[in-house]
A and B are shown apart, each in its own frame.
Chain A
Amino acid sequence: DVKVTQSSRYLVKRTGEKVFLECVQDMDHENMFWYRQDPGLGLRLIYFSYDVKMKEKGDIPEGYSVSREKKERFSLILESASTNQTSMYLCASSRENSPLHFGNGTRLTVT
């Protein structure tokens, strides 16, 4: 079974801090994704990557950046956390045209 591991289940950070959310997958998938999920807004794509060192903006990239230095790892970076970035963050990976495999999510609270 594919395993997608997010480094933290819960995270509390202060406004202005730099925040790193890490995601690792073990199935050699080309594609990796970061979503955020908020009540009433569904899943919104922040960034995705289809290859090492490649990244593409999703629907809501503002305030975020990503890094994919190795195929198995996709990091989401909040350069200066703000309270409106309090959310559930979901990482996923997939092959082309195939189902996404999600991690268990990181619930981030910015105070």
Chain B
Amino acid sequence: SQQGEEDPQALSIQEGENATMNCSYKTSINNLQWYRQNSGRGLVHLILIRSNEREKHSGRLRVTLDTSKKSSSLLITASRAADTASYFCATPFNTNAGKSTFGDGTTLTVKP
């Protein structure tokens, strides 16, 4: 089964509101990655949080990681219509642990 699993599957909010997406994973990791995908395009890496970090910020993005619960969250503050996209978490690829695994993603719709 997929290791990265996002929740909720879909989220619809108004511009200016905050959006929170959650991710659970199954194995030990040394980092967790979040990606964004605009409709019909490839994925773009947003932010990486290392296993020894609990929280990380990048602009309007805030990511938390709880390795004891094997979970992470992505918060987008003051959302904009341009944030409308699908968001995925992923465990990293390395030749020992095996392949990077993506969840099914959260589809975020931000209404103007």
Residues on A lying within 8 angstroms of B by beta carbon are: 4, 31, 33, 35, 40-43, 45, 48, 50, 56, 58, 88, 90, 92, 94, 96-105, 107
Q: Are B30 and A100 in contact (CB under 8 A)?
A: no
Q: Are A42 and B102 in contact (CB under 8 A)?
A: yes
Interface of chain A, main secondary structure: strand
A104, B37: Cα distance in complex, Å: 10
Q: Which residue among B42, B94, B104 has the maximum number of chain A CB atoms within 10 Å of its CB?
A: B42
Q: Which residue of B lies closest to A99 (CB)?
A: B45
- B: interface residue count bin: 20 to 34
Residue numbers in B under 8 Å from A103 (CB-CB): 42
Asked, given contacts A48-B99, A105-B40, whether A100 binds B105 with beta carbons under 8 Å apart, the answer is no
Contact among B33, B104, B105 with A99 in the assembled complex (CB-CB below 8 Å): B33
Q: Which residue among B30, B40, B95 has the maximum number of chain A CB atoms within 10 Å of its CB?
A: B95
Asked, given contacts A90-B43, A102-B42, whether A42 binds B104 with beta carbons under 8 Å apart, the answer is yes
Residue numbers in A under 8 Å from B102 (CB-CB): 35, 42-43
Q: Which residue of A lies closest to B5 (CB)?
A: A42
Residue numbers in A under 8 Å from B25 (CB-CB): none
A56 to chain B, nearest CB (A): 8
Q: Which of B11-19, B63-71, B74-82, B85-93 contacts A (4 or more CB under 8 A)?
A: B85-93
A50, B99: Cα distance in complex, Å: 10
* Chain B window 24-62, contacts with chain A (Cβ cutoff 8 Å), 1 for yes, 0 for no: 000000110101000011111100100000000000000
Residue numbers in B under 8 Å from A40 (CB-CB): 104
A96, B96: Cα distance in complex, Å: 10
A48, B35: Cα distance in complex, Å: 19
Q: Are A100 and B100 in contact (CB under 8 A)?
A: yes
Q: Which residue of A lies closest to B104 (CB)?
A: A42
